[in-house]
A and B are shown apart, each in its own frame.
Chain A
Amino acid sequence: MDLDEYRLRARAWLEANVTGAEVEGASDTGGVTAAKTFMARLYDAGYSGITWPREWGGQGLTQAEERVFAGEAKDFTLPTYVFSIGLGMCGPTLVDLGTPEQKARHLRPLLRGEEIWCQLFSEPGAGSDVAALQTRATPAEDGWVVNGQKVWTSVAQHASFGLLLTRTDVDVPKHKGLSMFIVDMRAPGVTVRPLRDMTGRSHFNEIFFDDVHIPAENLIGQVNDGWSCAVTTLLHERLSISSGVGMGGQKDNPVAFESLRHTVDTADPVVKDQLVELYIRSRALALFNQRLSQETKAGIFPGARGSAAKLLLAELTMFQADLATSLVGPEAVAYEDDGGPAESIALAPAMSLGGGTNEIMRNIVGDRVLNLPPEPRMDKSVPFRDLKVSGGSSA
């Protein structure tokens, strides 16, 4: 099937199946049952796990189809938010690196919407510099025991499983002493606490691990090879954010060009030109994303160029919300039921921070797309226990 045909079929399915009723109550704080029901329908229709291998429940297609579907889905409000981490990051990591047993156990329930996943990398002392993390996993009978704290964890309050990055060796440099595990979020010793963010809501959680036992078979990859596993996850994260995979969409985003043009006075030449600027930026990024899809279809993998797309999306998100509030004027600060400019400007920083800050994206584009020389690093050759890290001593 060529991409245009695929697009038409996806569009038809979305129009027939996304009526708005399934979204009722399916916000990020509740309505998980409705979201799971919708996810099962998405799976049955063949739009869940579009790029995943068929033997694990996927469709065995390319990122081109996935981007096409995501592009169409942007015009609808899909209640898939609670699955976005599993679909965009944890699942693809398991597809790439999981054991056959792990894949057989986890992938299909994830795609069918039966189990929600979260990602447990960041810590209070390890954000951009995630390899500085301090949560420890120490060997124990039949596996490992974990102690530490994670933060910025979306959907953890609903999650059955988490993809956990821990430190397993402090006597080697920081990138060489990490290991990745699948953790049962209902295991004894796991505490999930909502973290109230600047929007006043709880999009994130902080997670505490107190002597949590993890069975040996839950290790992903090799012991102390967790960094390369994490790089795989982060690559999937940037691609999924930039292409909107598993993110659903927001129909009639009130600060996007198509909505804004109807709510501001376009007779004013300054307003008109600012809307033109918004159109130019939105269209430029949309065409770039479409080109990445077509290149993928042609066998050119976008790789780190996905970070350029993510950076541009973060800048557009901020520009758009900023412009909308400025154009609307004093009225803009009053919250509206359908999430007006006030909601958008309060949420806008999230896109520039989550999934790697704009500064980290620029480092990645510079280092891995333009192949610029790396910054001198003092943290790569020192054993982790001797390294200066935020939030206390490292050992």
Chain B
Amino acid sequence: MKLVLTEDQRELRGAVRSFLASVSPLSAVRRAAESGIGHDPEVYRRLNGELGLAGLIIPEEYGGAGAGYAELAVVLEETGAALLPGPFLATTFAAILLTEVADKELLPGIAAGTTVATVALDGDRALNGVEADVILAIDGARVRAVRGGDRTPLTTLDPTRRQARVELGPGEEIASSEAAVARARDLFAVAVAAEQLGVLRASLDAIVAYAKVRVTFGRLIGSYQGVKHRLADMHCKLEQAESIVRHAAWAADEAPGELPMAAALAQAYVGRACFEVARDNLLLHGGIGFTWEHDAHLYYKRAKADEVLLGPSRTHRARLAELLEL
């Protein structure tokens, strides 16, 4: 079991973090979110070109980097912490699913960053469904690729990531495999948990920084136990969430038998922990946290949207119960 990042993984984290800090700070995130397509194509061109992130987990034979889920988790933690707008997670879902079913047609385009793809998660709803060139529809064991269809943009809670209502035509069936689809769903859970870990960490960092500069009643607010103790509890959640995400990514790479349980645990724990920390970040900021100008609500909204993205928490807990044979 590997729960600690390697030197290479720390370097990858540093590279993605500094890249996003320079090209996609929160001021740019806000501009992109309000733009026509909801993200900055130039950021994506460099993200996929210089850093090669679109093809990170895609096997080398399809033009990807052939990296593992431990690396993908590192990257998603950073894109989550930066609230990177646009279809990065959506295309990652598609890359996961297509890699599991060994599809040769679409993977090279995704790896090259020229194809934007997404997955219709519950039949008629998809992240970045309007922008996507291809929507993958899962119907039981069957996976279809649909290029057309009716796509209606939704106005959602989280302004930093768009969703669409999609009515898909028949498209083209590209695979039928119960095992591959089941594993892909677990891998989606790991991917979202990694992003949630980033949102959690960024939320905690924000309120810890504020607690060191904001003064009330003649004291820095971080010196009050009423604040300090809540921040300590938030730190405990971060420690456990990171441990669970590293474990789930390790299971995805090296212990397929442990993946279902690790993935369900990741969604059940990290999703909730992420929302609670993002919520407390907002609340501990006081009134300023409720304003549009402050960034706390962006994390709060992403955290809630992510928490329910793959189904309400009861579904992950029910899955755990089933796997534990309770």
Which residues of A come within 8 Å of B, CB atoms?
261, 266, 272-273, 275-277, 279-280, 283-285, 287-288, 290-291, 294-295, 298, 300, 305, 308-309, 311-312, 359, 361-363, 365-367, 369-376
- Selected contact of B3 from candidates A266, A276, A277, A291, CB within 8 Å: A291
The verdict on B244 contacting chain A, using a C-beta distance below 8 Å, is: yes
- Selected contact of B243 from candidates A261, A291, A373, A375, CB within 8 Å: A291
Q: Which of B1, B208, B235, B236 is packed against the most chain A CB atoms within 10 Å?
A: B236
Q: Which of B212, B231, B239, B326 is packed against the most chain A CB atoms within 10 Å?
A: B239
Per the bound structure, the CA–CA distance linking A266 and B241 in Å amounts to 27
- Given A363-B232, A365-B236, A370-B235, 8 additional A-B pairs, CB 8 A: A284-B243, A284-B265, A298-B4, A308-B235, A369-B235, A370-B222, A370-B231, A373-B223
- Name A367's closest neighbour in chain B (CB-CB): B228
Contacting pair A291 B4 (CB below 8 A)? yes
Contacting pair B240 A287 (CB below 8 A)? yes
Question: Given A273-B321, A365-B236, does the pair A372, B208 have CB atoms closer than 8 Å?
Answer: yes
Q: 0/1 per residue, B174-215, Cβ < 8 Å to A?
A: 000000000000000000000000000000000010011000
Contacting pair B239 A308 (CB below 8 A)? yes
Per the bound structure, the CA–CA distance linking A130 and B1 in Å amounts to 40
Per the bound structure, the CA–CA distance linking A291 and B239 in Å amounts to 9
Contacting pair A288 B232 (CB below 8 A)? no
The verdict on B46 contacting chain A, using a C-beta distance below 8 Å, is: no
Q: Tell me, rounded to whole Å, the shortest Cβ–Cβ distance linking A270 to chain B.
A: 12
Contacts of B242 in A (CB 8 A): 291
Q: Tell me, rounded to whole Å, the shortest Cβ–Cβ distance linking B313 to chain A.
A: 10
Contacts of A279 in B (CB 8 A): 320, 324
Per the bound structure, the CA–CA distance linking A300 and B239 in Å amounts to 14
Q: At the interface, is chain B mostly helix, strand, loop or mixed?
A: helix
Contacts of A283 in B (CB 8 A): 244, 265
Contacting pair B223 A375 (CB below 8 A)? yes
The verdict on B62 contacting chain A, using a C-beta distance below 8 Å, is: no
- Name B208's closest neighbour in chain A (CB-CB): A370
Contacts of A362 in B (CB 8 A): 225, 228-229, 232-233
Q: Tell me, rounded to whole Å, the shortest Cβ–Cβ distance linking A246 to chain B.
A: 23
Q: Tell me, rounded to whole Å, the shortest Cβ–Cβ distance linking A318 to chain B.
A: 14
| Chain B, interface residues (CB within 8 Å), range | 35 or more
Contacting pair B219 A359 (CB below 8 A)? no
Contacts of B208 in A (CB 8 A): 370, 372
Q: Tell me, rounded to whole Å, the shortest Cβ–Cβ distance linking A358 to chain B.
A: 9
Interchain pairs with CB closer than 8 A, number: 120
Per the bound structure, the CA–CA distance linking A295 and B241 in Å amounts to 16
Contacting pair A273 B212 (CB below 8 A)? no
Contacting pair B235 A365 (CB below 8 A)? yes
Contacting pair A294 B239 (CB below 8 A)? no
Contacting pair B243 A280 (CB below 8 A)? no
Nearest first, the 4 A-B pairs at minimum CB distance are: A366-B228, A372-B222, A365-B232, A287-B243
- Name A264's closest neighbour in chain B (CB-CB): B326
Q: 0/1 per residue, B90-133, Cβ < 8 Å to A?
A: 00000000000000000000000000000000000000000000
Contacts of B228 in A (CB 8 A): 362-363, 366-367, 370, 372, 375
The verdict on B268 contacting chain A, using a C-beta distance below 8 Å, is: yes
Contacts of A280 in B (CB 8 A): 265, 268-269, 317, 320
- Selected contact of B229 from candidates A285, A290, A359, CB within 8 Å: A359
Per the bound structure, the CA–CA distance linking A371 and B243 in Å amounts to 22
Contacting pair B231 A276 (CB below 8 A)? no
The verdict on B246 contacting chain A, using a C-beta distance below 8 Å, is: yes
Q: Tell me, rounded to whole Å, the shortest Cβ–Cβ distance linking B18 to chain A.
A: 22
Per the bound structure, the CA–CA distance linking A294 and B211 in Å amounts to 31
Per the bound structure, the CA–CA distance linking A152 and B86 in Å amounts to 58
Contacts of A374 in B (CB 8 A): 223
